Chains A and B, each alone.
Chain A
Amino acid sequence: MYHHRAFEVQLDEGSSLRYEAPTTTKEAAKLLAKEKGAAYLLAGGTDLLVRMKGDFIEPDLVVDIKRIASTQTIQKTATGFTVGASVPCVQVGRDKALGKAWPGVVEAAKLIGSDQVQGRCTMAGNMCNASPAADSVPALVAARAKAVVVGPNGKRSVPVEKMATGPGATTLKKGELVEAIKLPKQDSKSGDAYLRFTPRTEMDIAVCSAAVNLTLGAGGVVKKARIALGAVAPTVVIVPAAAKAIVGSKLDDTALEKLAKACEAACNPIDDKRGTAEFRTEVAGVLARRAAKIAYQRAGGK
């Protein structure tokens, strides 16, 4: 049991950063709501501390959520899974039940950074950092996951795809924080998969990525599908046309080609130091095709 701690440092000039470690979401929300300066949430710190080091941000208040009990665990419930906001990805990776139901979500979470980063980073943090290239987000979106947002006015549920409004920006209002991410119960005969492209085998931000979640009907025919692409637009892109292309098929080459083309058409990427728009578009299609095949196999197909 940890006590709420509050510390202040005073320098004659310069920053007056405060660190708080509340033990309930209510306390956390209150701290955020009443803060007049720049307030930031801290879970794993693998984005926050990097931004502080580079002087991109100068927080006045850092609210560490890791002592809040309701954010610390993965719960399997009747309606799916609840992954607390301070659960590090290494824990997500080790959860057998979660891995069985949502292998795509778990493999995405496991791709964020090195083992050192895995010991700290969280899916909630990944989502709230709102990088277009976030690894866990496309898979969460394909899985129809929702964020549980707690604020001064209570709780609300937000589909993950609605959380980011643009690079680095979320719909969180002042005083709000994410308590957990909820995954629905996976349908039977279903599978999900996540693939990303990086120039090295590890340690890179995704150049582009694709998540596919599908459900099979009788005879191995795709009944339902949801495809989400990452790092090809300011926020994650859901591609209904790609889903349409493979529903009713057994993932034959024509259907897959249609899926790839639909994905390419949905891309709106930039040229930057990690890849050209042209490259991202083409490879997003390739990854979507490959992820669809993996999801299909996991669903019991072929």
Chain B
Amino acid sequence: MSGVHVSTTVNGDAVEFVCPPGETLLDVLRNRLGLIGAKEGCGTGDCGACSVTVDDQLVCSCLVLGAEVEGRAVGTVEGLSTNGELHPLQQQFIDNAALQCGICTPGFLVAAKALLDHNPSPSEEEIRYALAGNLCRCTGYDKIVRAVGSAAKDLAKEAKKSSKKKAK
């Protein structure tokens, strides 16, 4: 049996895999690359639990074929922390009790990061609409929205610090 041979990068690392043409990126990540952070909640793009980025664009990995990421850069929740240090979003989710069962959390973190990358100081309404594609059944979203808002402030502080450093 032969399949599609794909060369790509995942969380900055070069990766190669072989998969059937009809296999989704979600199944590739979970079943071939051992990256189980992305979850299948629905398989039809309605819940966002499988959210990843492809070339920095937020997508549902259940709606992308593995074959399509040839030559592209994939980002998953596993790539959020660097050198063991949590991203401010991850820390704020823990600090704000923005997760209960946690199944939606990887998807939310990836989506929230995508939001803050494009809109560093979103209003509550902007946060809510940007995260509308991520379903949560446990929290009622309140603490998630607060966590994202707090993380935005953390990132702004960090950006200020590093720009001051640069100025020096």
Contact = CB atoms under 8 A, between A and B. Distances in A.
- Do A and B touch each other in the complex, judged by CB within 8 A? yes
Interface of A: 2, 5, 7-11, 15, 17-19, 21, 42, 44-46, 49-50, 52-54, 59, 62, 64, 66, 88, 90, 113-117, 119-120, 201-203
B24 A49 contact: yes
A9 B5 CA distance: 11
B22 A114 contact: no
B46 interface: yes
Contact of A45 (B5, B21, B43, B63): B63
Contacts of A54: 44
Nearest to B60: A116
Contact of A202 (B5, B68, B129): B129
Given A2-B71, A90-B57, A62 B24 contact: no
Contacts of B24: 49
B132 A114 contact: yes
Nearest to B48: A116
Interface string B125-168: 00001111110000000000000000000000000000000000
Contact of B70 (A5, A15, A113): A5
Contact of A19 (B2, B4, B43): B4
A113 B45 contact: yes
Interface residues of B, number: 37
Interface centre among B43, B51, B60, B131 (most CB of A within 10 A): B60
Given A2-B71, A10-B2, A18-B21, A203 B46 contact: yes
A50 B67 contact: no
Contacts of B68: 42, 45, 64, 66
A62 to B, nearest CB: 7
B102 interface: no
B67 A19 contact: yes
Contacts of A50: 44-45, 63
Contacts of A90: 57
Contacts of A17: 20-22
Contacts of B35: none
Contacts of A201: 129, 132
Interface of B: 1-5, 20-22, 24, 43-46, 48, 51, 54, 57-60, 62-65, 67-68, 70-71, 111, 114-115, 129-134
Contacts of B20: 9, 17
Contact of B43 (A53, A115, A117, A202): A53
A119 B59 contact: yes
A73 to B, nearest CB: 16
B135 to A, nearest CB: 8
Given A17-B21, A115-B132, A202-B129, 14 more contacts: A9-B1, A9-B2, A18-B21, A19-B65, A21-B67, A45-B64, A49-B62, A62-B21, A62-B65, A116-B58, A116-B63, A117-B60, A119-B57, A201-B132
Contact of B44 (A42, A53, A120, A202): A53
Nearest to B22: A17
Contacts of B48: 114, 116
11 contacts: A5-B70, A17-B20, A19-B21, A21-B70, A53-B62, A64-B67, A113-B45, A114-B134, A115-B111, A120-B64, A202-B132
Of A5, A21, A203, which is in contact with the most chain B CB atoms at under 10 Å from its CB? A203
Contacts of A49: 24, 45, 62-65
Nearest to B68: A64
B24 to A, nearest CB: 7
Contact of B111 (A9, A45, A116): A116
A119 B61 CA distance: 11
A203 to B, nearest CB: 6
Contacts of B46: 203
A200 to B, nearest CB: 8
Nearest to B130: A115
